[in-house]
Amino acid sequence: MGAFYDSLETRSADERESAQFGALAALLAKSLAHAPGLAARLAGLDAATVVDRAALACLPLIRKSELIEAQQVQPPFAGLTATPTGGLRRVFASPGPIYDPEGGGADWWRLARALFAAGIRRGELVHNAFSYHFTPGGRMFESGAHALGCPVFPAGTGNTDQQARAIADLRPSGYAGTPSFLKIILDRADELGLDSASLTKACVSGEALTAALRQGFEARGIATSQCYATADLGLIAYETAAREGLVVDEGVIVEIVRPGTGDPVPDGEVGEVVVTAINRDYPLVRFATGDLSAVLAGPSPCGRTNLRLKGWMGRADQTTKIKGMFVHPHQIAAVLARHPELGRARLVVERGEDGDRLTLAIESAAAAGEGEGLDEAVRTSFQAVCTLRAAVTRHAPGSLPNDGIVIEDRRGAAS
């Protein structure tokens, strides 16, 4: 292998879109006949028409909360798998519970690409500290390491003293696990007088890699890269040596949509990460992750040409309890849909003397003389949709923060 895991990473945008949507249309045509849950969600769809992002954006989202409920109604996978349970390799359980399938073939979760970008190469021993119990994390990274030709020490979680001892004895060069647990192991190795200097590369996930942690690892000679992966989808995006955002994996199509809707936002605007997995066993279509991110402009300096994400920027599900009622981001989107002349909107909830105080900030180009009627119309729409009253403030187009926040709760402790 050279600088890249394979030639897919350096395709032109047109080549990638053509290949991915061709594969997706073929996958859907097959899957709709074998996955009754998917067929029900996409009833009436002609798979051959899903030829580009505009067509994909017309399909409904599926959210994690929906997946939990659907699996209870139609166990074990809500009819969304195209491969029968008897044809799978493993079944895992994630909190919820959500049951996750693993199909056959090498590197089913596609983690090898992230490990390679982290500098891990054939023959190097990987200390894998992701859990092997119930959840698929350990298996995800192990199968990726095996695809690279790397042996794995299946450390799992806990047993810190034994993990530190194993590193001293086995001298692995690579680590896979959460960044906080890596620090715990290294600190314990220092306390026990054990050598951990063999570790020079780490591929971390599952939580934020803070600047302080990265600097601490680098001071020890450990080059640390992060990746974004989930039990439902496998690898979504990964960091490269350029350290400028996360490059989207070649096996998924990523959209950034306005929170509470399935509507794609312009590149650079913060929104919810929505992923379509081109997976023959488990073709999740437009899976809303609940995470906020944004697309970075241009290709990565490392030479990989796929989209780049800024990284994790918060949670998209900002559902907030106000005056005993839940207000959801999709309700704010419904208010905006009644007034297409508006830009972004942001509901601010504060604690007032007489209880919760709501202010709906809207972006509008309306002149001062035109604004009063618009304010009243928006107030009426908000009350009709949310059954609550809110003051309305107007702001210039593009002036509200580009942070993906639709409902900002300033009350401190949750109500």
Percent of the chain scored above 90 by pLDDT? 85
Amino acid in the structure at residue 382: F
Query: Residue 351 pairs with which residues in a beta bridge?
Result: 356
Does 320-409 match 8-60+72-250+296-314 at the fold level? no
Q: In which element (H, E) is residue 66 found?
A: helix 64-73
- Alpha carbon 71 to its chain's center: 21
For the chain, 415 residues long, the average pLDDT of each consecutive 10-residue run is: 90 97 96 96 96 97 91 96 96 92 96 98 98 95 98 96 98 97 97 98 94 96 97 97 97 95 93 96 95 94 97 86 86 92 93 85 77 86 93 93 92 59
The pLDDT of residue 140 is: 98
The pLDDT of residue 368 is: 57
Q: pLDDT tens digits for 145-196? A: 999 999 999 999 999 999 999 999 999 999 999 999 999 999 999 999 999 9
Which pLDDT score, from 0 to 100, does residue 414 have? Answer: 43
> What one-letter code names the amino acid at 141?
F
pTM of the predicted model as reported, rounded to 2 decimal places: 0.87
Q: For 241-278, what is each residue's pLDDT tens digit?
A: 999 999 999 999 999 999 888 999 999 999 999 999 99
How are the residues of the chain apportioned to helix, strand and coil, as percentages rounded to the nearest 5?
30, 25, 45
- Backbone φ and ψ for 77, nearest 5 degrees, come out as -125, 25
pLDDT the model gives residue 415 = 42
CA distance 190 to 196: 8
Say if residue 76 is preceded by a cis peptide, omega within 30 of 0.
Answer: yes
| 387, β-bridge pairs | none
Helices (H), 296-367: 329-337
**Class for domain 8-60+72-250+296-314, per CATH?**
alpha beta
What pLDDT score was predicted for residue 99? 96
Sorted by where each begins, the domain ranges of the chain are: 8-60+72-250+296-314, 320-409
- In sequence order, what are the residues at sequence separation of 6 or more whose Cβ sits closer than 8 angstroms to the Cβ of residue 166? 127, 153, 155
Classify 320-409 by CATH class: alpha beta
And the tokens for 215? Answer: 């600097």
